[in-house]
Structure 1
Amino acid sequence: MTRSRGVVQMPKDSEPSGVDVLDRAFAILFAFRSDDAGLSLAELSERTGLYKSTLLRLAGALIHHKFLSRLDDGRYRLGPASFVLGCHYQAGLRLGDVLLPLMRELNREFGEAVSFHIREGDRRICLHRIDSTFSIRAQVREGDVQGLELGAGGRVLLAFSGAEGEPYESVRRSHSYMSFGERDPETAGISVPVFGIGQRLQGALGIVGPTSRVDRPFMERVRGRLLAVAAEATEALGGNSASLRHAAAL
């Protein structure tokens, strides 16, 4: 992070809102990382680019509203109000509210079926599905149950559930898997992971269709877009999208 005194250092994926006092307050909150036991005033100043006098004033207001707490040694940490809001957000969040609009975008863009699979034990379930706009299509419906070791969605679910060896090491590096006729000789697909709070795997987002249309050039063309959509869903679900966005740029 570059140092710029008096200039708010926003999170990498954020832009200033134009309301300076709020931008500065949120810069303080977002300065904390998951492994921080507490931050000194000097560390907060380093991470945010704010003067210590400004930090003291804003920290006092954040402490008043319980978004910050001050430890006995003078360091700061996030307060209980941050946790309460996070719990409210998580409780009100439904996967479909996040995923279905994004899946419809992919369907309009490429015309092929878009699916989202979750893992249940040693099987996977098609939780959401947007059908292909073409008359010839892969026949999978919401609620269908399939195995994990055949097909792009299953491979991704296994890879990010800790399966060892290949192809799972490669899947974890690329954050994607291309399947050619594994489950059905005439069907191909590509899937990527979606994460939530604490980087917990939520499921596998994929595009699937007949091999006559969904071939390797098609998958290579859509891979970056699919990863970008998975990153957007991950952010909305409270996860960290950095690895997905990095993979999309490769």
Structure 2
Amino acid sequence: MRAAPRSTIQSLGRALRLLQQFSPSHPEWSVGELAAAAGLPKGTVSKILATFQEHGYLIQDPVTRRYRLGPALLVAGRMAENGLDIARLALPLLRRVTEASGETSILMVQAGWRSICLAKVDSPHPVRMAAEVGRFASLHSGASNKPILAYLPEEAIDAYLRSPYFVRRGPRTITDREQLLANLAEIRRRGYSESDSEVEVDIQAFGAAVFDAYGWVTGAISIAGPRQRLAHRPASAMVAAVQDAARELSRLLGWQGTWPAPWPPARPGQRRRASNPSLP
């Protein structure tokens, strides 16, 4: 995680959160639907969408009046894709994880106060965990995300727990502050996270943190699948698969220290003063 500005522009944050609602499973939205999803007034949402449309980031169907992503984002996406070396580096490791486990493997990376799926390899089974590249998730819910939160600086963890993102996201999401802090400490002690139905019913997952060249957490690799199937496989095998992949990806990103990296994180030669990530 990199240092972020001390203050943020709330109106810009609201606008970006609207853009983040668009996904492969929900590519089109009406003004009313977006307003309800984001908890914003329809008038505000309408003005934001019109501005995005004016600059080519959204297009509106003239018949249905529904919005979808526009060509300006396609150009930006191609530019961003060229810089996503982490996804390219991770894919062979994810394939290895899925081959070893038979389950869907996922790479999540931090995106402000959330995480985003950058790469995945689907399980060969017809019944499997559905993961979408480009989909955002909450840092405090699920084994695919909690390793990221666990290895953030203490100040950042505290700020996250006071943010509007710390809410229930699934059947067993931990929403008690002290319980979550204890869980994060356990993740750091064990070197992996485990979850059961925290995001989706009957989905079990195991995850491990990925670190950059400075030993700062940048993402997590995880295995996720139906509880009924994972219950018949040794948990130690699942854990070893994600830990090996996370350790290797960290090495490819330049981290040469012990894995998991020491916590709290530090810059070479000095303790880093953590800055709170900006709210997207």
Q: TM-score range by the shorter chain?
A: 0.5 to 0.7
Q: Which moved more, 1:148-157 or 1:186-195?
A: 148-157
Q: State which of 215, 233, 236 in structure 1 corresponds to 2:231.
A: 215
Q: Deviations over 1:41-81 (max 9, x none)?
A: xxxxxxxxxxxxxxxxxxxxxxxxxxxxxxxxxxxxxxxxx
Q: State which of 179, 192, 199 in structure 1 corresponds to 2:208.
A: 192
Counterpart-to-counterpart distance in 2, 1:155 and 1:92: 25
Aligned 8 A contact 2:117 2:133 in 1:
yes
Partner of 1:202: 218
- Give the secondary structure class of the aligned counterpart of 1:222: helix
Aligned 8 A contact 2:207 2:222 in 1:
yes
For CA contacts below 8 A with separation 6 or more, give which structure has more relative contact order.
2
1:11-50 correspondence runs (5 A): none
Counterpart-to-counterpart distance in 1, 2:84 and 2:115: 22
Partner of 1:161: 152
Q: State which of 72, 92, 96 in structure 2 corresponds to 1:101.
A: 92
Q: Deviations over 1:165-200 (max 9, x none)?
A: 211111111121000111112111000001111112
For 1:193, give the aligned amino acid: A
Q: Which moved more, 1:170-179 or 1:222-231?
A: 222-231
Counterpart-to-counterpart distance in 2, 1:152 and 1:193: 10
Partner of 1:132: 123
Q: State which of 229, 245, 252 in structure 2 corresponds to 1:229.
A: 245
TM-score between both structures, scaled by the size of structure 2: 0.51
Counterpart-to-counterpart distance in 2, 1:241 and 1:126: 26
Aligned length: 156
For 1:110, give the aligned amino acid: S
Aligned 8 A contact 1:157 1:204 in 2:
yes
Q: Which moved more, 1:128-137 or 1:227-236?
A: 227-236
Q: 1:181 to 1:93 in 2, by over 3 A?
A: closer
- Give the secondary structure class of the aligned counterpart of 1:135: coil
Aligned 8 A contact 2:212 2:218 in 1:
yes
Aligned 8 A contact 1:187 1:211 in 2:
yes
Question: What percentage of residue pairs aligned between the two structures are identical?
Answer: 25
Counterpart-to-counterpart distance in 2, 1:113 and 1:209: 6
Partner of 2:193: 177
Q: 1:239 to 1:219 in 2, by over 3 A?
A: same
Q: 1:216 to 1:205 in 2, by over 3 A?
A: farther
Counterpart-to-counterpart distance in 2, 1:212 and 1:153: 19
Counterpart-to-counterpart distance in 2, 1:175 and 1:216: 22
TM-score between both structures, scaled by the size of structure 1: 0.57
Q: 1:170 to 1:103 in 2, by over 3 A?
A: same
Counterpart-to-counterpart distance in 1, 2:126 and 2:215: 38
Q: Which moved more, 1:204-213 or 1:156-165?
A: 156-165
Aligned 8 A contact 2:247 2:260 in 1:
yes
Counterpart-to-counterpart distance in 2, 1:190 and 1:216: 15
For 2:128, give the aligned amino acid: R
For 1:202, give the aligned amino acid: T
Q: Deviations over 1:14-57 (max 9, x none)?
A: xxxxxxxxxxxxxxxxxxxxxxxxxxxxxxxxxxxxxxxxxxxx
Q: Name which one, 1 or 2, has greater alpha-carbon Rg.
A: 1
Counterpart-to-counterpart distance in 2, 1:230 and 1:217: 20
Give the superposition deviation at 1:217. 5.1
1:3-152 correspondence runs (5 A): 94-152=85-143
Give the superposition deviation at 1:121. 2.0
- Give the secondary structure class of the aligned counterpart of 2:238: helix
- Unaligned 5+ runs, structure 1: 1-90, 246-250
